[in-house]
Each structure stands twice: as C-alpha cells, then as structure tokens.
Structure 1
Amino acid sequence: METESPGFGQNTKTNQRSGGLRRLSLAMIATDRTAEGFTGLSDGAGGPGAVLAAFKAAAPYLGLPPRVVHAVDWLFRFTQRQDWEPGARPVVWPSATVQQADLDLGVSQTKALNRLLVELGLVVMRDSPNGKRYGRRDRSGRIIEAYGFDLSPLGVRLEEFRAVAEKGRAEREAVRQLRRRVTIARKAIEQIAETAVEVGLEPGGFVREAEEARRLCWRLGKEERSTVLVFGVTRLEDRHGELRQRLESLIAERRGSAQKDVETDPKGPENRPHQYRYKSNADPEQDTVSGIEKSSPAPVMSVAPTGSPGLRDGSSGPQTGRGGQKPALQDDGTVLRITPDELVRLAPRLRPYLGRSSPAWPDVVEAADWLRHDLGVSKPLWGEACLAMGREQAAIALAIVSARPAGHFRSTPGGYFHGMVARARAGELNLGKTIWGMRSKRDTHGWDQPQ
C-alpha cells in the first residue's frame, strides 16, 4: 500500500509514522468513527446499488464535485452484495496503478483525491502491514482479509443521503414553482402597463413599474434559494395588485367624468360599428344582433336601427306584404336576435366594464375590449376577431367565452377564443345556436360547444 498520508499537509514525512503506517488526521478519526457504526444493511435497504444511488442523488445538494462522485462510483465496481451483509465489511482493494489508469489521473492527483474522499467522510483507508492494498475471499465470495478502501461510512450514511436528496428535490420543485410565479407576475405587470399606454392613463408611471419588474425578474432568475425567491415573488405579486387597483380606479374616474356622448370609434374607421341612439324598448326586435347560421369574413350580425327590426334575410329596410302589411316573422332558430341587456344577463362578467345600466352595442364593444384582458386575449387577436366577425359579433363571442366555466377549456380562454376566430374565418362559426343554448341553460352550469 502507498505510504503517503491522505491526511492534511503536503510533507509526506510528517504524515507518516515509523514502519510506513498512515498518520491519523482529524478527518480520518471522524470518518473512522462513522465506519464503526456499520452493522450491515438491513434486508429492505436494497444492497450496495441502493447505497450508491442514494449517494449520487444527494451529491448535488451536498456540493460534492463530479470527480468525487465519479471516484465513488468507480470504487463500487469492486464490491459485492455479500460485503454489505451483517458481520461483513465492504472493503475494496484496487491498486494505485489501476486507479490512476481508470480515472485518468496522475500520481499526485490520485493521492489528493483519496485524501478528499476521507476528509468528506465517505471512505476509510485500511492499511496493510506492508503498505499495499490487497484482499482475499473464500469459496462463497466472502472477504477473509482485505486492506484498501473501506466503504462502510457510505452504508452508515444511507438514510442521511436519502433525506438530503428528498429535501433537495423539494427545494428544487419549490424554486421551479416560485420562478413560474415570478414570470406570471412580471407579465401581468407588463400587461397593465400596456393597457395604461393604450388608453393614456399615466403611461409613464406604469411603464417604469414594468421596467422595474423586469429588472427584479432578471435578478431572481439567477437565484437558487427558495427563501430569497419567496421575498421577490411576494414583492412582485403585491405590486401587481396595487397597480391593477390603481388602473381600475383611474378607469372608473375617467368613466365617471366622461360626457354622455363618447367617441365610439377609437380604433379607426376600418371596423366602425353602426352608430345610433339606444333606447330601452319592450319591442324584442329592436336593438338586436342576429346570428346567421353560416358566417363569412364579412360581419354576419347586423344591428338594426331603432324602429327597424332586423329581418331573416339580413336586411334592415322595411318590407311589406299584401295590403301594405308587414309579413309575420318566422324565427326558426337559424336567426337570433339578442339585445345588449340580455347579453349582459347571459355573460355577467361584462357588467363591471359597462359605463351605464342600459348599454347600447358600442358600450358592449368597449366593455368587451376591457374584458379581453381578464381572459388572456391579446390586442392583435381582438383585432383579428373584429376583422373576421365585425365588432358586435366579436364582442358577443368574447362574452360567450367569459360565461364558460373554468373546466370547459382544454387550454386557456384566450386559446378557445382563437379557435372561434379561426372558425369564423372558415365560415363555420354559428353563434346563434350557442346563444339559444345559453338561454335554455342560463340557470345551470352546462354549456354546448359553439357550432
């Protein structure tokens, strides 16, 4: 066996006793005491493979370098299951030459590695009288005599390794969840800032808050400790709540001070809705939007002006039969008429964003533009919906999505709305049947898939 000491110090002469025996260091004494507690693995422990697996699982959380893990893994190649049974001792005796060749290390590197294994409390060096590593087994494979690396400390620390690995996995999962919350809070703050810029409500202040959230998120992205991440997440989420409340207050103030006649075309003339004065009326055919069985890229829902009910063929002009009398309306379910008030009753999530109790269709469209933020519908997707369906029909489609229960969506409400827009482009969207279903089931939680 090698006479160089794996203890502390570089001067081998001071670490040797007469006769070539290894001089004990404090680390060797502590590791040797650990090894004395080895009484064999229990029947349910799983053998040396379980010990090695537990050690390798705990190594990242113990801060052990890869070369140490590789060295221990290599030593386990020379042990056998019976070496870990009660009354036995798991000692392996690969020569220094084999160790250097297999691990691709020099003489000094091998000595330093062996010292590190002892100091970390992983192995004990069992020295032979002549300083060489060797061992003998009987016919049954049990060790009779052995000098080399005693792996007993690893067996004693089996439960410690398992506990460390489990705690490490829990910490890693906590960090993963906290980082996810950091991202969600940052995006929510950025969405609020985008909304503030869009509507012109203190945009500079909200933009600065979004920039600060991005900087904090970047710093937290490098953090591995859950305790620090919890602090950062709490700060971001609290700030998000404050900013949302501020934005809602500013919106309420603006609506409260706004004049009765407001700009109903803030987003350009391309999708300008029909403009009219809304007046509550008992006439169910007044102020209605009709859903046609098959939609097309052009808007398929028409808003009939006051006093001119929408007709089955989509026209809104007056038509007469014999004697100047209007023909009786035959609503066979393929054409639907729905008032803004009824839509709000069917989709109550619109109500907080409406500026008055008796809304007209421009009010519903504006409220839907605010509601889309809660549903995760982006501004570009909302614009695509207005182009594909028309503004009023897009508002009705969004209201339908808001009325769905949370478990209805396979992905997200925004993804569901995206599918509706795609079907509208293909001429396959039929909101009429869906509205009839909502009317018939408004007192239950069951909903039909839009046709």
Structure 2
Amino acid sequence: MTEHISTTPFGRRSLSLAMVAGQMAADSCAPGASSNKWQVFRAVCEAKQLLGASDRALAVLNALLSFHPDTDLVEGEGLVVFPSNAQLALRAHGMAPATLRRHLSVLVDCGLVVRRDSPNGKRYARKGFDGAIEQAFGFDLTPLLARAQEFERMAEAVRAERRSLLLVRERITILRRDIAKMIAFGLEEGIAADWPRLHLSYRDIVAAIPRTASRLELEPIAAELAALAQEVRKALESHVKTEETSANESHSERHIQNSNTHPYEFEPGLEKGQGTAAAVKPETRSQPPTGYPLGMVLRACPDIADYARNGISGWADLVETANLVRGALGVSPDAWNQACEAMGAVDAAIMVAAMLQKGEAISSPGGYLRSLTAKARAGEFSIGPVLMALLRGRGGAQTKAG
C-alpha cells in the first residue's frame, strides 16, 4: 500500500483551494472502490466544459492514465503515477514542456489529479524490501476514482442537453420549411391573407437566430416559429373552409390564380392598368447571367430555395420561385415585369433572391428594384457586386463554379 504524506506543492508553487479540494476528494474515496479508467476518462471528456478542462489538458490526462499499468483504478493500489516530463510529453504527442506544465496545472485546478511532490520536486517511487511500492511521488489519480459517479452524472447531463439541442434545432428547421412552403403556396394559389406581414414576421424571427446558440436561446425562437406556423396554417384552413361552404354542384369549379399576379398591391404609386404581370418569355427564362453559375447564386442567396416547391435545379426554377417571392416582399407585378425587360428575367430573379436574403436591410424592395431597373436601362447595373457582397457576408464562400 502506498502512503501519501505530501499535501503541498514543491518550490514556488503556492497552495490553492483547488488543490485542497482535490485532496479532499482523494481522501473521500470509498474503501474498495474500483472503476475502469477508460470509462472514467470518457465521462470526463464528455463533461469537459462543465469541469473547465480543455482538449489539450485531456490529452495530458490520457497520457497520465497510460502510465497506470492496470485497466481498473482500485482504491489504495498504486494510483500515483510518476513519469518524467520527457516521458509524459512523448505520450502527449510531443507537447512542448511549457505547454505540458500549463495543462498539468489545469488538471489539478479541475480536481482531476492531485500533486504528490517529493522533497526535491522529482517524481519517483520508493520500494520496500519485498519490491512493493511504499512511497510514490507524482500525480495521484485517486480523484478520478473518487468522483467517477459524479463524472458519469455530468456526462449524462451533457448528453441529455446535446440531445435536447439537436431536437430543438430539428424543430426549427422543420418549422422554417413549413412556414416558407405554406407562404409560397398561399401566394401561388392567390389565397386571401396578409402574406407580406406574415413573411416579414418570419424573416424577423429567422434573422434573430444566432450562428451558434444554446438550447435556452433556441427554445423561445422555436416557440415563436410554432406560433407563426399556426397562424399561417389557420389562413390556409380558413380558405379551405370558405371554399367548402361556397361549393355548389359543380365540384370541378375552382379559382385558379395565375402565379404571375397577386390580389394585393403593396407598392404605392402604380398607374391604373399596371397591376397584371405579363408572363416571362421562354427565351428570357433560360437566359443565364454572364459568368455567374447557379450554384454560386444559391450559395449567396440560400433562403430563396425555401420557397421552391420542387427545389431549384435550373434558371427557370429560380425565375419561377423569385416571381412567387416578389409578392411576399411587396414588389408589384409591374415592377417585376419592368425589371425582367430591363435586366433580363434571370438577373431580375437574382435581385429578388438577394433582396430576400438581405431582409430588413432593404426597407422598400419594390422601390429598390425599380431603381436598379432604371440603372439597367442606363447600362449602369451589374449583378456581380451584389453577389460578391452576399458571399463575403456568408463567411467567404467559394465563388468558383462547382
């Protein structure tokens, strides 16, 4: 049995509360306790954020455990390991000496190991006449054994939190898809509802989602999206009930709303007779923008894909979806037609996708598109800077064709 008499660190290192807490944990180890050291290590790895341990510190702990000859940690049976810094650095993947010392201190501060320093600060073991170790100086692994159940509980809490975070993220993804598809369907079918307001509410909620967020941050956002989804669904259900109530013996009769028109005008100042959108000519629907592949456009403006019924696999799909989305943005049919004539249907669709992506940054999408249309007629419009700015805003996405 190894006797421990060292309780304070060697040299200029001062005693800390973390050291005292670690020694208390070691002293509280239940007699006869035993745990698989690698199972304990995995639990510690999962609970590292709760413990305050870094990845590099855990690499050092892994190296320390490798110097313990047995698979199980057993109370009272040689739980002090005493490798030199050179040996420890080798097993810690060649870690620099200063880095190694820093992460050893982290393990001590986290209460994972206890220092058992010798009178001269060296790490070694003294054996008795029978060859058994009587006294060892180095790093005591007893806190790992004493706190094994605590580490497992912490790891289980981390796993549960991770699962809850995954579930709320999945819920937000599904709600986003549902809301976008329902708004797109309502616009396409010409269902009477305040689609611009619903769309703006949706964009406001989505814009508030952080890039990296905890479960507590995402749950209120999921609740807001759920409430909005319910409101959009009620608008569609109300339309279905109205149709059922007004149905007559001619069951095949139904109102078909051309997707190029919209029952509401959201852009002020239109002249009489300009409220009907002309169909986009086939030759302009397939016209690609010079030098900018569809993949790059979708990387710069990914949100437009949420409104596509069957995805966006070609320029015609992009034009069709943009023609649908422009109604939610408040762009009138006339402004859309003028843009298609001046800059081409594809570039006009790209600008609608860009305005959708920018969200609240554009206060009047209809007026904005008309100003770009005027520039296009004067030969002063280029789609490139818009796409490049959006790509830079998305973290420097690649701009080369895939």
State the TM-score, normalized to the length of structure 2: 0.54
1:119: which partner in 2?
A: 109
Change beyond 3 A, Cα 1:161–1:40: same
Q: Deviations over 1:262-302 (max 9, x none)?
A: 8558489xxxxxxxxxxxxxxxxxxxxxxxxxxxxxxxxxx
2:223 matched to 1:237?
Answer: no
Q: Which among 46, 64, 81 is matched to residue 92 of structure 1? A: 81
Are 1:189 and 1:209, in contact at CA under 8 Å, matched by a contact in 2?
A: no
Q: Which SS does the other structure have where 1:153 is aligned?
A: helix
Distance 1:109 1:46, change over 3 A: closer
Alpha-carbon shift at residue 145 of structure 1 (Å): 1.9
| Aligned counterparts, 1:26-175, within 5 A | 26-39=17-30, 42=33, 45-81=34-70, 84-103=73-92, 104-136=94-126, 143-175=133-165
* Correspondence for 1:310: none
2:171 alignment partner in structure 1: 181
Letter matched to residue 172 of structure 1: R
Q: Output the amino acid matched with 1:246.
A: A
1:209 pairs with one of 198, 201, 214 = 198
Query: Where in structure 2 are there 5+ consecutive unaligned residues?
Result: 1-7, 259-307, 312-402
TM superposition shift of 1:66: 0.5
Deviation at 1:70, TM superposition (A): 0.5
In structure 2, the partner of 1:358 is none
Q: Deviation string for 1:134-178 (max 9, x for gaps)?
A: 114579985322101111111111111100111111111111111
Distance in 1 between residues matched to 2:227 and 2:132, nearest whole Å: 65
* Paired residues, number: 253
Two-structure CA RMSD over aligned residues (Å): 3.6
1:220/1:232 contact within 8 Å kept: yes
Q: Provide closer, same or farther for how the CA distance between residues 21 and 60 of structure 1 changes in structure 2, counting only shifts above 3 A.
A: closer
TM-score in terms of structure 1 length: 0.48
Q: For 1:161 and 1:85, locate their aligned partners in 2 and report how far apart those are by CA, in whole Å.
A: 17
Instruction: Tell me, in whole angstroms, the C-alpha distance in 2 between the residues paired with 1:182 and 1:82.
Output: 44
Measured after TM superposition, the shift of residue 29 of structure 1 is 1.8
Q: Which has the larger radius of gyration?
A: 1
- SS of equivalent to 2:119: coil
The Cα offsets for residues 157-211 of structure 1, whole Å up to 9 and x where unpaired, read as 11111001111111111111111111222222122212211121346x3255345
The CA distance in 2 between the partners of 1:142 and 1:47, in whole Å, is 23
The structure whose RCO (Cα within 8 Å, separation 6+) is larger is 2
Letter paired with 2:100 = T
User: Whole-Å Cα distance in 1 between the matches of residues 169 and 130 of structure 2?
Assistant: 55
Q: What's the % identity of the aligned pairs?
A: 30
Task: Give the conservation status (yes or no) of the 8 Å contact 1:138–1:144.
Answer: yes
Give 2:214's aligned residue.
Answer: 225
The alpha carbon displacement at 1:100 in A equals 3.5
**Structure 1 CA distance, aligned partners of 2:129 and 2:39?**
26
> Which residue matches 1:24?
15
